[in-house]
Amino acid sequence: MVSSFTVVTRAQVSVERLFDQSLSIDAHLESMAGSGERAVAGVTSGLIGLGETVTWSARHFGWRFRMTSEITALDRPRRFVDEQVRGPFRTFRHEHRFETHDGQTVMTDVLTIASPVFGRLAERLVLVPYLRRLIRQRNDVLVRAAGN
């Protein structure tokens, strides 16, 4: 089964700055410090670009995971997509959209996931709420960093 969810974040920062922060490996690491996330292969610092990969190592739910993501689409500063190419999910696709509306930057995250372990009910009750919290936490850090 596949589950999808959306997180919308509004910010008083430029769309270009928030877009770049969203591609920053360093900002991602800062936002995921609680899970001990590290970039261990591929692009491990700075901005990641189209066709490039990063391998993350992190602890979630008490387990250490490795996941390699590739930037599969990039249209600066409107949109980019990262997708798991190796890792714990059957499907992990994260679309990042950026637009300006009423003087604010609106960042929309659309995640599509499928877990090889959990069924759809467990994905909806456990995994989706957990990932939604992580994305909100990540976005708070990105917005603060873009405002500097």
Per-residue pLDDT reduced to its tens digit, 115-130: 877 667 677 888 899 9
What pTM did the predictor assign? 0.93
CATH (domain of 86): 3.30.530.20
Residue 84 CB contacts under 8 Å (≥ 6 apart), including other chains: 67, 68, 69, 91, 92, 93
Tally of domains within the chain: 1
Per-residue pLDDT reduced to its tens digit, 85-139: 999 899 999 999 999 999 999 999 999 999 877 667 677 888 899 999 999 999 9
Q: What gap in Å lies between CA 28 and CA 141, rounded to an integer? A: 8
Enclosing domain of residue 85: 3-146
Predicted local confidence at residue 36, as pLDDT = 87
Collapse the DSSP code of 19 into the 3-class scheme (helix H, G, I; strand E, B; otherwise coil) and give the result: helix
Contact 80, 71 (CB under 8 A): yes
